Amino acid sequence: MQNIPYKIYLTEEEMPKKWYNVRARMKELPAPITHPGTGQPCTAEDLKPIFCDDLIAQELNVTDEYIDIPEEIQGFYKMYRPSPLIRAYSLEKKLGTPAKIYYKFEGTNTSGSHKLNSAAAQVYYAKKQGITTLTTETGAGQWGTALSMACGYFDVDLTVYMVKVSSEQKPYRKGVIETYGAKVVPSPSDTTEVGRKILAQNPGTGGSLGCAISEAIEMAVKTPNCRYVLGSVLNHVVLHQSIIGMEVKTACEKYDIEPDIIIGCAGGGSNFGGFISPFIGDKIAGKSNVRFIVAEPVSCPSMTRGKYAFDFGDTGQTTPLLKMYTLGSGFIPSPNHAGGLRYHGMSPIVSKLFHDGYLEAVAYEQKSVFEAAVMFARCEGTLPAPESSHAIRAAMDEALKCKESGEAKTIIFNLSGTGYFDLAAYMDYNEGKMSDYVPTDADLEKGFASLPNI
Amino acid sequence: MQNIPYKIYLTEEEMPKKWYNVRARMKELPAPITHPGTGQPCTAEDLKPIFCDDLIAQELNVTDEYIDIPEEIQGFYKMYRPSPLIRAYSLEKKLGTPAKIYYKFEGTNTSGSHKLNSAAAQVYYAKKQGITTLTTETGAGQWGTALSMACGYFDVDLTVYMVKVSSEQKPYRKGVIETYGAKVVPSPSDTTEVGRKILAQNPGTGGSLGCAISEAIEMAVKTPNCRYVLGSVLNHVVLHQSIIGMEVKTACEKYDIEPDIIIGCAGGGSNFGGFISPFIGDKIAGKSNVRFIVAEPVSCPSMTRGKYAFDFGDTGQTTPLLKMYTLGSGFIPSPNHAGGLRYHGMSPIVSKLFHDGYLEAVAYEQKSVFEAAVMFARCEGTLPAPESSHAIRAAMDEALKCKESGEAKTIIFNLSGTGYFDLAAYMDYNEGKMSDYVPTDADLEKGFASLPNI
């Protein structure tokens, strides 16, 4: 065994050349993407008007355990990967725990998060297919930023439908997306039929993610050589994000690190799903006994209080149906600053693994998450994203249990992004203005009432 | 020779354990820090009420070529260093140049720049001396952020006097500083005599860096166990920043990279001075023939149009005198977005090296700098700080000369920070609202008129 450095960077030769497709290992597969009209599984043909061909193939691929990362994408990854796996010595000391805490830090690129891992892949496949324009939606803006970076690099046009109120509250997110050459359209807009309809009904609306998705999909379907791309939830996104887990696994094998607990936060499930994929593969194969913990907000508790059911991916109910843990597409999340975790559903892969007992889920209130975030920032330097701080909270809680029991467990969590664009939330916390919110059963029932009958 | 990776990270064992003090190699030394009243060199005793003892010793040390980095500071550096030395393959391709372009990327920490290298050192030495409170000023906010991170880690109280107009225009900078546990006081304030005086004279003022410095120094002098710290210009800051150059030099030696041209931007000169220090040492010793280029804005041209003279470090004319290239402490910089390069003077070390012919200086107009910044962002992924983009512009220009001449020169520049908090400037550029500004000779004469008679 080699000495374990403070920060582990894989060498170029050690960088994973393949993504890990955990579905090939699962004893039972997630239910297929289903057509809401027919109730039948969607075919590749059904999805072609919206998504790129290679991405559809990856979405439906349940047999290949490893999928080659094309050289062009490896080249893009080299600009900002490998991301470091860091031992949180200062945090351990502060907590007084015998636990060994490691974190994988995905925030070292300008988009500030793991989102770039899938953005690069999706834009590459679009370009390869001869697609000249992509569309997407963005709320908090991390996905839009990542996609604009990839489109700037591969020279593909991009239109981002940005929830109007977000584009007004976060003008700098719009600024960075435009700097990379993409077009930002505040949604609802007059550029689409659905946008014009919503504007006519409600001229003063600040928009919603559901509406922005509908506009982006409409543009993709109606524009020549144009497709729609999505930053989370879907199987191919989890596949691309497996680069995170593959790097961590390679590092663990190189330095004989044996994780006891693996932790991530989840909104749509892409960073968590990608992070755990190769490790879950080993667990299913009976080769490891790691515990997996997914951390979510109490205010949007899809795993801890949701139903495992077929549901739409968007609030506008325009997408195919996904079987997942969901609060119902009609669930209205509270004003929760952890923007990226405000999604009503969850990756079908992560949902199925949870349903089958491979994962534990925990939910945290916001103030307790920010308490962990601030302690982490002061100990470890990096200001974490509020989303990622749910994972920090969970890792700290497990480390404190080790302090009580005296066990020196190895904990690895994914620090999926930085909080540089979340300072309004930190300021609320610093000034004591932050409040917690727990949905009532009645709140949840309203969301469940929106579930489709299938 | 080993294969050169795309991004070079030194291993922990290869990390420099010493800073490089270039003054020990200089054939003629910079003029000493001078007392404005007596015209005599300041003694350590003169500086003790303001600065920490070990930092004063480093400030005055002109004999030791290498100075040990204390283990505690090495420990802090390990949290975010080594920074990568990256080959700009995509930029080279875009320019069609045979030149090999490398950049050292100092923006991978939350403060977003190299400032943390000196912040960590200064706070450590303060703590070691038993100092419990530090004060400083901040304009754009990068220094204040870096210092708050170091103070949060070493558990030292910090009060940051932040230019009032900046604290209002950049509330998030205030937010991040407070998250790390420091106190932000918009300046001028009623917490100091000088602040109260300025407020009485001009109740509506938005403040200035000169005023903020004066308030911070007053607090340091009047508060028990308190000292003042500064993020640029001074010799000990350049010393701490030599970690940048030491890492680059180690990487070059490991991979047989022989730079022909080394480039950095300069405001107060700390990143440039630290970056070039060990390389200049070799050049003075006759061991290399590298060209050194310092890039500055046309709007604040201290090197290209300034005078080499004794001057105050602050517009309030309260500091000791430094011999440096200066526009005069009374020079009023234009509204220039590259905030960090708006300083009227320049590090005495960098100034002396320039005066003695070791360096070339170039000045760029703002729009040409942002053109380079946007091209860099789209090719290389990272959104650069406007300050650092002056170095990008210079590197691109040298690479384009290589294209004409067909020479495959090796160019290394320092990407001293990220532009994540400079998006207002990028948006102005994107929207065609940015203008260039060239000071007239009359503008410069007004500044020179403020030079002291010594």
Tokens representing B97 are 């140049």
Give the H or E element holding residue B136. strand B133-138
Which conformational region is residue B230 in: left (phi greater than 0), alpha (psi within -120 to 50 degrees), or beta? Answer: beta
Shortest CA distance to B209 belongs to which of B314, B131, B99? B314
Q: What is the average pLDDT across A115-136? A: 98
Mutation site, B8, B71, B115, B383, interface A, largest A CB count within 10 A? B383
Residue A447: what pLDDT? 94
Per DSSP, the residues of A7-31 read EE---TTTS--EEE-GGGT-SSPPP
Query: CA quadruple B86, B92, B93, B97: dihedral positive or negative?
Result: negative
Q: What is the average pLDDT across B291-317? A: 94
Q: Are the C-beta atoms of residues A223 and A133 closer than 8 Å to each other?
A: yes
Residue B121: what pLDDT? 98
Q: Are the C-beta atoms of residues B244 and B107 closer than 8 Å to each other?
A: no
Q: Are the C-beta atoms of residues B381 and A153 closer than 8 Å to each other?
A: yes
Q: What is the average pLDDT across A43-67? A: 97
Residue B96 in this model has a pLDDT that exceeds 90: yes
Q: What is the pLDDT of residues B369-408, one digit of tens each?
A: 999 999 999 999 999 999 999 999 999 999 999 999 999 9
Query: How far is the alpha carbon of B90 from chain A, nearest alpha carbon, in Å?
Result: 9
Tokens representing B188 are 């001028």
Name every residue in A having a CB less than 8 A away from some CB of B. 5-7, 9, 11-12, 78-80, 86, 90, 108-110, 112, 149, 152-153, 171-172, 174-176, 178-181, 374, 377-383, 418, 420-421, 423-424, 426-427, 430
Residue B341: what pLDDT? 81
Q: What is the pLDDT of residues A421-454, one digit of tens each?
A: 888 889 999 999 998 889 999 999 999 999 998 8
Nearest by CB to residue B378, choosing from A112, A153, A418, is: A153
Q: Do B79 and A383 touch (CB under 8 A)?
A: no
- What percentage of chain A exceeds 70 in pLDDT? 98
Nearest by CB to residue A179, choosing from B109, B178, B377, is: B377
- What percentage of chain B exceeds 90 in pLDDT? 86
If pLDDT is split at 50, 70 and 90, which confidence band does A209 have? confident
| Range in A260-274, A393-407, B99-113, B162-176 with the lowest mean pLDDT | B162-176
Q: Supply angle C-alpha A99, A104, A109, rounded to 5.
A: 150
Per DSSP, the residues of A296-308 read EETTS-HHHH-EE
The pTM score is 0.95
**How many CA atoms lie less than 13 Å away from B280 in the CB half-sphere?**
31
Tokens representing A25 are 């290992």
Residue A2: what pLDDT? 66
Residue B338: what pLDDT? 59
Residue B339: what pLDDT? 61
Measured CA to CA, the distance from residue B110 to residue A420 in angstroms comes to 8
Q: What is the average pLDDT across A107-111? A: 95
Residue B246 in this model has a pLDDT that exceeds 80: yes
Mutation site, A383, A428, A429, interface B, largest B CB count within 10 A? A383
Mutation site, A4, A10, A79, A80, interface B, largest B CB count within 10 A? A79
- What percentage of chain B exceeds 70 in pLDDT? 98
Nearest by CB to residue B430, choosing from A78, A178, A426, is: A178
Tokens representing A17 are 């050349």
Name every residue in B having a CB less than 8 A away from some CB of A. 5-7, 9, 11-12, 78-80, 86, 90, 108-110, 112, 149, 152-153, 171-172, 174-176, 178-181, 374, 377-383, 418, 420-421, 423-424, 426-427, 430
| A251 contact residues in B (CB cutoff 8 A) | none
If pLDDT is split at 50, 70 and 90, which confidence band does B337 have? low
Average pLDDT value for chain B: 94
Give the H or E element holding residue A391. helix A386-405
Strand-pair category, A18-20 with A183-187? unpaired
Residue B330: what pLDDT? 87
Which ipTM score applies to this complex? 0.94
Residue A340: what pLDDT? 66
Query: How far is the alpha carbon of B148 from chain A, nearest alpha carbon, in Å?
Result: 9
| A119 contact residues in B (CB cutoff 8 A) | none
Q: What is the pLDDT of residues B1-42, one digit of tens each?
A: 568 999 999 999 999 999 999 999 999 999 999 999 999 999
